[in-house]
Amino acid sequence: RELCEFIDFALLFNEPGVYAFLAYYKGEKGLPPYEKNFSKLVKALENIKSTLIQASDVLRSYGFKGKIGFPSFVPNTHPVSSFSLRARVYARQAWSNLFYDVLDETSPSVDFIGVDYYTKNFVDSTGRIVFSTIEPEALTRVLATIYLRYKKPVAVLENGLATRNDALKTRYLVDHLYSVYKAIEAGVPVLCYLWWSFLHGYEWEGYGYQPFFALVDVGEDYTRKPTQTAQQFSEIARTRIISVDLLHKVRETSYPKKIRDWRLLDQELQVTT
**Average confidence score pLDDT of the chain:** 95
C-alpha span between 26 and 50 (Å, rounded):
23
Looking at the domain that runs over 71-272, which CATH code has it been given? 3.20.20.80
pLDDT in tens, 147-202: 999 999 999 999 999 999 999 999 999 999 999 999 999 999 999 999 999 999 99
Percent of the chain with pLDDT over 90: 89
What is the Cα gyration radius of the chain?
19
Tell me the H-state helices in 12-119: 16-24, 38-61, 85-95, 101-106
CA 200 to chain CA centroid, Å, is 16
pTM value is 0.95
